Amino acid sequence: MNYKLIKEFVDLLQEYDQQTTDYQADMLVFSKWLHQKMLIESAMTEPEWDGKSNGRSADSVINTLLVHLSRYAKLHAKNAIQDSIFSTSDEFIYLISLKSYGAMNKTALIKMNVHEKSAGIQIINRLLIMELVEQIPDLQDKRNKIIHLTEKGRQELEGIMGKIRHASSLVTGNMTHSEKMELIRLLSKLELHHKSEFNGIF
């Protein structure tokens, strides 16, 4: 019996289970997923990058690209908030979090946006001063404060959302829809890894 082949098949089943949110124990669905996976992998060729011939690793390139893309995203966001009440992209991102997920305590809001506590508190304090958010005691735990989006905050956010969406589209540039979907899958996998690694730190 070819145990190596069996192990490869089991590994593929595990990958299918992890990547498919609406997992179905159906051979036809699995076969289609496997066929698509083979097509993608067969079309992929290892790219060239600066320093590759001198031993520069793929890990190094990925880190550099992510740092650069983060800076490009910040530049586009900075342009989007010109002539607005916001001074940093973090401020409107916190408001988007509150609008999307509702009121929450400071710790949850800071953790959601992957900030250290001191940096997150500074952002929240600026929003409080501008009256874009308000805080009320947590009825479940009076040591905590619940952060709410105010009507002013909602209006300021809605007034700039068009520019924010445009900035977001500039970040993804000339990528096709299928490339965006694949990038979401890969980045989500990478973020999930770091979330589990840094659980409790942020």
Return the SS3 of 41: helix
> Is the pLDDT assigned to residue 200 strictly greater than 60?
no
The CATH code belonging to domain 59-174 is: 1.10.10.10
For 72-78, the CB contacts below 8 A with 24+ separation are: 72/171, 73/167, 73/171, 76/167, 76/168, 76/170, 76/171, 77/164, 77/167
Query: How confident is the model over 78-106, as a mean pLDDT?
Result: 96
* Tens of pLDDT, residues 118-169: 999 999 999 999 999 999 988 887 778 899 999 999 999 999 999 999 999 9
> Is the pLDDT assigned to residue 202 strictly greater than 60?
no
> Is the pLDDT assigned to residue 196 strictly greater than 90?
no
pLDDT of res. 165: 96
pLDDT of res. 10: 83
The pair phi, psi for residue 149, each rounded to 5°, is -80, 125
Tell me the two tokens of residue 32: 């289609």
Map out the domains of the chain as residue ranges.
Answer: 59-174
pLDDT of res. 1: 59
For 33-39, the CB contacts below 8 A with 24+ separation are: none
* Tens of pLDDT, residues 32-42: 888 887 777 76
Query: How confident is the model over 51-69, as a mean pLDDT?
Result: 95
* Tens of pLDDT, residues 1-36: 567 788 887 888 888 888 776 666 778 888 888 888
